[in-house]
Amino acid sequence: MGGVSTTEQATRLPHVPKQDRSRATRQRLLAAAVACLAEHGWAGSTVSVVAERAGVSRGAAQHHFPTREDLFTAAVEYVAEERSTALRALFPDGAVDRRAVVAALVDLYTGPLFRAALHLWVAASNEDQLRPRVTELEARVGRETHRIAVDLLGADESRPGVRETVQGLLDMARGLGLANLLTDDAGRRERVVEQWGSLMEEALG
């Protein structure tokens, strides 16, 4: 009879689980890198520290990410993409309340992703190898966030000033995220978000 022998099956079957394990290891490393960067900053976030937190060997970490710069730029990009997906998922049928969109956008800048990204930006300002990669990453993430904001707000950027209004909202959100690094600014942030929600309704019509 034709078909695949038992020996062939034995050599083929582990292939898919191995891919799954590799993908899971990569995601654990990325999540651990973001957490370490947010908690310890660039100086305290070595590949060894991240590998230990992720529960993998240093060798396994370097197999996925040969350099420290590879690991941390990939980590921030990975989580940024996850947050963008989560933001879109909040309004699957399109947003109807611009105040809710403003609040959701501000939330993007007050969590561990922003804290980790800030540490990466500071490191990039002093690390020649890191700077161009982080600059490119920030530009890409910024464009994606702007597109999401325009879609969710129903903003017509063909109208004069609308693009700048949306960008101003994102700049404001980034500023609130920066303030949140030092103190619990939730009360003030809520009032600012409410006011910006009203401003966006007026500005976007």
pLDDT tens column, 57-106:
999 999 999 999 899 889 888 878 887 888 788 787 776 788 889 998 88
Closest CA relative to residue 118, chosen from 41, 30, 182 = 41
Label residue 154 left, alpha or beta by phi (over 0 means left) and psi (-120 to 50 means alpha).
left
pLDDT of residue 91: 83
**In the predicted model, is pLDDT for residue 2 greater than 80?**
no
pLDDT of residue 7: 45
pTM over 0.85: no
- Read off the pLDDT of each residue in 175-204 and give the average, rounded to a whole number: 86
4-8, 70-74, 166-170: least confidently modelled range: 4-8
pLDDT of residue 17: 66
pLDDT tens digits for 16-66?
467 778 889 999 999 999 899 888 888 899 999 999 999 999 999 999 999
- Read off the pLDDT of each residue in 11-19 and give the average, rounded to a whole number: 56
**In the predicted model, is pLDDT for residue 1 greater than 50?**
no
The 3-state secondary structure of the chain, one letter per residue: CCCCCHHHHHHHCCHHHHHHHHHHHHHHHHHHHHHHHHHHCCCCCCHHHHHHHHCCCHHHHHHHCCCHHHHHHHHHHHHHHHHHHHHHHHCCCCCCCHHHHHHHHHHHCCCHHHHHHHHHHHHHHHCCCCHHHHHHHHHHHHHHHHHHHHHHHCCCCCCCCHHHHHHHHHHHHHHHHHHHCCCCCHHHHHHHHHHHHHHHHHHHC
Q: How far apart (Å, rounded) are the C-alpha atoms in residues 197 and 190?
A: 10
Q: How far apart (Å, rounded) are the C-alpha atoms in residues 181 and 75?
A: 20
pLDDT of residue 111: 79
Q: What is the largest CA-CA distance in the chain?
A: 75
Closest CA relative to residue 105, chosen from 175, 33, 181 = 175
**Helix axes 15-40 and 47-54, enclosed angle (nearest 10):** 120
pLDDT tens digits for 107-125?
888 878 788 888 888 888 8
